Amino acid sequence: MSRALLIVDVQNDFTEGGALAVEGGDAVASGVTAFLAAHAADYDVIVASRDWHDPEGDNGGHFADQPDFVDTWPVHCVAGTAGADYDPLLVTDAVTHHVRKGQGKPAYSMFEGVTDEGDTVGDVLAAAGVLSADVVGIATDHCVRASALDAVAHGVHVRILTDLIAGVAPDSSEAALAELAHAGAELVESGAE
């Protein structure tokens, strides 16, 4: 049975100092790096996603001057900028597939993105015969939630590694984790096997 690790949006604009900084983002980056150093060989596929928004336009209404922080957001993760880069504390040497999402449109789930070769995450997981996946990254209440729900919808057994995620707000993050558990995802710490 093939296993995957899905690393969601550990990018400069979502970690401390970024345009949409999430408290604990740097800790997630360094924690995922330490986890990979010890466990990369446990996975057949390691996918990392990045928001990769177009520099021109509002990306399908995703960017707004007066954002509501639900459907519209300040400018973030613009393609080719430092904000779109992986957080420097995240070492990506073990990543087998890099995915970019949100190119000209809103996209929360990594399953909405594509690799440089044009493959979706669903394609990558199916080709590798992945039946289970661990999910880590930022933000619990937005892109981690959407990516994990899509993984479940693709028939993958999902574990959320709760010590390797960070959310925008406590209440919405707690609600997201409850929703994920209800959908069948396991909530475990990274040390659990």
b/e string for 142-166 if b means 16 or more Cβ within 10 A? Answer: bbbbbbbbbbbebebbbbbbeebbb
Alpha helices (H) along 1-45: 25-39
Active-site option among 9, 13, 26, 134: 9
Dist CA 102 CA 94 (whole Å): 24
Examine the residue annotation and report whether 77 is marked as an active-site residue of this protein: no
Active-site option among 26, 141, 143, 150: 143
Active-site option among 77, 101, 134, 150: 101
- Closest by CA to 132, choosing from 47, 43, 48, is 43
Examine the residue annotation and report whether 101 is marked as an active-site residue of this protein: yes
- Which residues are paired to 157 by β-bridges? 132
Residues assigned a catalytic role = 9, 101, 143
